[in-house]
Amino acid sequence: EESMLRLNSVEEQLADKNAELLALEAVAQNEREQRDRADKVEERCEELEVRCKSSQELEERLLKSEMRHQETESCLQELQDQSKGLLTLEAKQQLSEESMLRRGPRS
């Protein structure tokens, strides 16, 4: 009977240890899953950082492009203004020459 009691006691201890082991395995599994999720979050953060940098670079290039476009527009306007001025000057000279031709040589 004493050996049966000891056997029951050992079986109970074994069952307790087995329950502890199962609990520890569950904790370990939970920690692995949390680490995996943390790794995925970190990877996603790195991807987003790369996309943000890329987006910032695109924004800077767009801004530079817009500035160049404005400079080009300004230069074009300046050239058009100069061209109008030259055409006006040429027209005045031509009118002056025609006027002189109509009057004829003065004696």
Q: Beta-strand (E) ranges in the chain?
A: none
State the pLDDT at residue 89: 83
Distance CA 14, CA 11 (A): 5
Q: What is the pLDDT of residue 52?
A: 95
* pLDDT the model gives residue 1: 80
Query: What is the structure's pLDDT at 105?
Result: 65
DSSP letter assigned to residue 102: H
* Rounded distance between C-alpha atoms, residue 11 and residue 19, angstroms: 12
pLDDT at site 6:
86
Note the pLDDT of residue 93.
87
Q: Would you write out the chain's pLDDT as a tens digit for each of its 107 residues?
A: 888 888 889 999 999 999 999 999 999 999 999 999 999 999 999 999 999 999 999 999 999 999 999 999 999 999 998 888 888 888 888 888 888 888 876 65
